[in-house]
């Protein structure tokens, strides 16, 4: 995170010292850097076409944010001098260069992910997760290409946060076909059973990477006893407004409506937590008194 109030030139000079140490000590592994750089690059790009041969990345980088500022130019020059390539606006899930920041201040792409030029072939996908919206910054999900297979204890389509279901989308047909064609699993044939398992895993993994999977999240009510129907419906309204915002290409009217709904949702959550604390406070006080009294009794007994 780079504060917008700090001098970007001074920060990058300091960062160069750290970066040089990382390169010397870990020169044989991929270097990926990401965070809130508070810099706007628009569609600026210093990369050359040969870098993207045999990768999943697009040569042309796009961005919904057309603003370019001094910090963005300085950051791009710094990263280019250190053989780093910006991934935002280059993957099949983020080829549009989606906004990573939405608030009453405005909208921008300032949460960025960079990878060193020698390891771009390991990048599978970069996705902006719009379903997590409590913060003004949306999370970025980066997936890498690896030969490692998932543990057998984790069945296909399941995760700790919910269950993934596949939904065919005609608009993503070409992306799915290309991903299947260049999958690292192609050609791995041994027994019939292994071939079947390999085919199933490849279809599932390719579908998820292409954006044809939806996750049904399971909420642990025990961890959030204050999350009632009002919270649920308020969150649902925020999701609707966010979807409308995306459909309208984040125009000002839709953006204002989304921000207002999110503000209301956060207020509802805050009030629910306060109410829960007030409800539990007398019981906590009673328990603390009992514990203190018990310790005093133990003290007098032992002495």
Q: Is residue 152 part of a domain?
A: no
Report the C-alpha gap between 101 and 228 in whole angstroms. Answer: 28
Among 132-141, 164-173, 197-206, which range has the highest average pLDDT?
132-141
Q: Is residue 259 part of a domain?
A: yes
Whether 287 is in a domain gets the answer: yes
Task: Give the structural domain span for 279.
Answer: 229-298
Q: What is the CATH number of the domain that holds 47?
A: 3.60.10.10
Percent of the chain whose pLDDT exceeds 70: 82
Confidence at 157, pLDDT banded by 50, 70, 90: very low
Confidence of residue 230 (pLDDT cuts 50, 70, 90): very high
Helix (H) or strand (E) holding 253: helix 252-302
Cβ count near 87 (within 10 Å): 22
pLDDT value for 204: 82
pLDDT confidence band for 150 (50 / 70 / 90): very low
> How much is the pLDDT for 128?
94
Q: Check whether residue 87 and residue 207 sit in a common domain.
A: no
User: Which pLDDT tens digit goes with each residue over 48-76?
Assistant: 889 998 899 999 999 999 999 999 999 99
Whether residue 162 has pLDDT greater than 80: no
The answer to whether the beta carbons of residues 89 and 57 sit under 8 Å apart is no
Residue 199 has pLDDT above 50, yes or no: yes
Q: Is the same domain home to 239 and 211?
A: no
Contact criterion met (CB below 8 Å) for 198 and 188: yes
Residues 233 and 137 occupy one common structural domain:
no
- 199 lies in the same domain as 270: no
**258-292 pLDDT, tens per residue?**
999 999 999 999 999 888 888 877 766 666 666 66
Nearest of 227, 257, 251, 226 to residue 239 by alpha carbon: 257
Asked if residue 190 and residue 135 are part of one domain, the reply reads: no
The arithmetic mean of pLDDT across residues 172-192, rounded, is: 73
pLDDT at 170: 83
pLDDT band at 210 (very low <50, low <70, confident <90, very high): confident
The answer to the question of residue 159 being in a domain is: no
Summarize pLDDT for 28-55 with one digit per residue, the tens.
Answer: 889 999 999 999 999 999 888 899 988 9
| pLDDT above 70 for 302 | no
Pair 173, 286 in one domain: no
pLDDT of residue 294: 60
Read off the pLDDT of each residue in 76-86 and give the average, rounded to a whole number. Answer: 95
Percent helix / strand / coil, the chain, rounded to 5 = 45, 15, 40
> Are 17 and 121 in the same domain?
yes
The answer as to whether 261 is a domain residue is yes
d(CA 19, CA 31): 10
| Residues 140 and 171 placed together within one structural domain of the fold | no
Do the domain assignments include residue 154?
A: no
The reply to whether 209 and 242 lie within a common domain is no
Confidence of residue 189 (pLDDT cuts 50, 70, 90): low
Q: Of 91, 110, 144, which one is at a domain's C-terminal end? A: 144
Residue 237 shares a structural domain with residue 112: no
Contact 129, 140 (CB under 8 A): yes
Can you read off the two tokens belonging to residue 205? 């993994």
pLDDT digits (tens, 9 = 90+) for 5-28: 999 999 999 999 999 999 899 888
pTM over 0.85, yes/no: no
Q: Are residues 133 and 46 in the same domain?
A: yes
Domain boundary residue among 144, 174, 194? 144
Q: What mean pLDDT do residues 220-229 have?
A: 75
> How many domains are there within the chain?
3
Mean pLDDT of 234-239: 93
Q: What is the largest CA-CA distance in the chain?
A: 81
Between 277 and 89, the more confident residue is 89
Does any domain span residue 222? Answer: no
Name the residue among 15, 128, 110 with its Cα closest to residue 69: 110
Instruction: Answer with the one of 113, 144, 175 that is the final residue of a domain.
Output: 144
Going by pLDDT thresholds of 50, 70 and 90, the confidence category of residue 163 is: low
Tokens representing residue 45 in the block: 């790009």
169 and 234 inside one domain: no
pLDDT exceeds cutoff 80 at 153 = no
Rounded to the nearest integer, the mean pLDDT of the chain is 83
In a domain, 221, yes or no: no
DSSP H/E element including 76: helix 70-81
């Amino acid at each position: 995170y780079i504060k917008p109030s700090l001098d970007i030139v001074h920060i990058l000079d300091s960062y160069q010292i750290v970066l040089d140490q990382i390169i010397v000590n870990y020169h044989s592994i991929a270097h990926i850097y990401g965070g809130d750089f508070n810099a706007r690059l628009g569609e600026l790009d210093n990369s050359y076409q040969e870098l993207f041969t045999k990768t999943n990345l697009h040569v042309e980088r796009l961005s919904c944010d057309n603003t370019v500022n001094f910090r963005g130019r300085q950051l791009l020059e710094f990263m280019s001098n250190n053989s780093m390539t910006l991934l935002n606006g280059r993957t099949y899930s983020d080829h549009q260069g989606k906004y990573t920041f939405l608030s009453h201040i405005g909208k921008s792409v300032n949460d960025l992910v960079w990878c060193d030029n020698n390891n771009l072939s390991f990048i599978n996908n970069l996705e902006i997760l719009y379903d997590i919206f409590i913060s003004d910054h949306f999370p970025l999900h980066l997936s890498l290409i690896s030969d490692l297979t998932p543990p057998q204890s984790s069945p296909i389509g399941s995760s700790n946060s919910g269950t993934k279901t596949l939904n065919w989308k005609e608009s993503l047909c070409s992306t799915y076909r290309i991903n299947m064609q260049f999958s690292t699993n192609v050609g791995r044939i041994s027994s019939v059973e292994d071939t079947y398992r390999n085919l199933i895993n490849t279809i599932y993994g390719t579908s998820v990477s292409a954006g044809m999977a939806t996750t049904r999240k399971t909420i642990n009510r025990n961890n959030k006893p204050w999350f009632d129907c009002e919270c649920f419906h308020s969150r649902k309204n925020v999701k609707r407004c966010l979807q409308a915002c995306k459909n309208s290409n984040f125009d000002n009217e839709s953006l204002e409506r989304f921000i207002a709904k999110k503000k209301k949702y956060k207020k509802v959550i805050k009030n629910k937590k306060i109410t829960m604390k007030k409800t539990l406070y007398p019981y906590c006080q009673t328990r603390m008194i009992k514990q203190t009294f018990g310790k005093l009794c133990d003290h007098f007994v032992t002495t």
